[in-house]
Copies of this chain bind each other. A is one copy, B any other.
Amino acid sequence: MTHTDIQAVDDANRAFYEALERGDFEELTSLWLAPEDVAYAEDADPDDAEDTSISCVHPGWPVLTGRGEVLRSYALIMANTEYIQFFLTDLHISVVADTALVTCTENILSGGPAPEGGEELGPLVGQRVVATNVFRRTRDGWKLWSHHASPVLAESEDESDLDAEIDRRLDEGPGGGIGGIDGNLGDDGSPA
């Protein structure tokens, strides 16, 4: 591993999040490992192409496998996201030979389209998510082989949040809205 490797992996990881922020689907597509990337690797057999599938887990989702499923999920997310920004913290990069393992905390600020189709942005939501991203070195730079992101639930806090939400609903009576699992950002802004 060299400083150059670390830098190149860091760049590839940032490019991934920047493509999401810009909603740049074409760029995002080019950052994920494709069968031809693996066939180019010196020690790979072209017959292996089908067994090197990419995989992706969005927070709270089941596993998506293969370029079709993974890229469709991003198209769907982009269509439903008006605004998204990632503040990456706790970045850690390990490299062994041609594989890199990146872990980071994604402090996310996002907003959907305006609820009534108006011109304003939907409500902004803060989320603290942790990610493990696996990259492979290819002729064309480091490409994403796997992305797994999950919510940081901070269990005991969530149970009290849930209790508070239930108390609020009990006070309010039927018909109150429910927030889902978010709002972790800004509790303290730092990793647990």
Contacts and interface: CB of A to CB of B under 8 A. Distances in A.
Interface of A: 1, 6, 38, 41, 43-45, 48, 51-53, 55, 57, 59-63, 65, 90, 92-99, 101, 103-105, 130, 132, 134, 136, 145-146, 148-155, 158-159, 162-163, 165-166, 169-170, 178, 180-181, 191-192
Nearest to A163: B178
A94 B149 CA distance: 19
Most buried by B among A1, A148, A149: A148
Nearest to A128: B62
A136 B60 contact: no
Contacts of A99: 96-99, 134, 136
Per DSSP, are chain A's interface residues mostly helix, strand or loop, or mixed? Answer: mixed
Contact of A180 (B136, B146, B155): B155
Most buried by B among A53, A90, A99: A99
A191 B170 CA distance: 34
Contact of A151 (B41, B132, B150, B178): B150
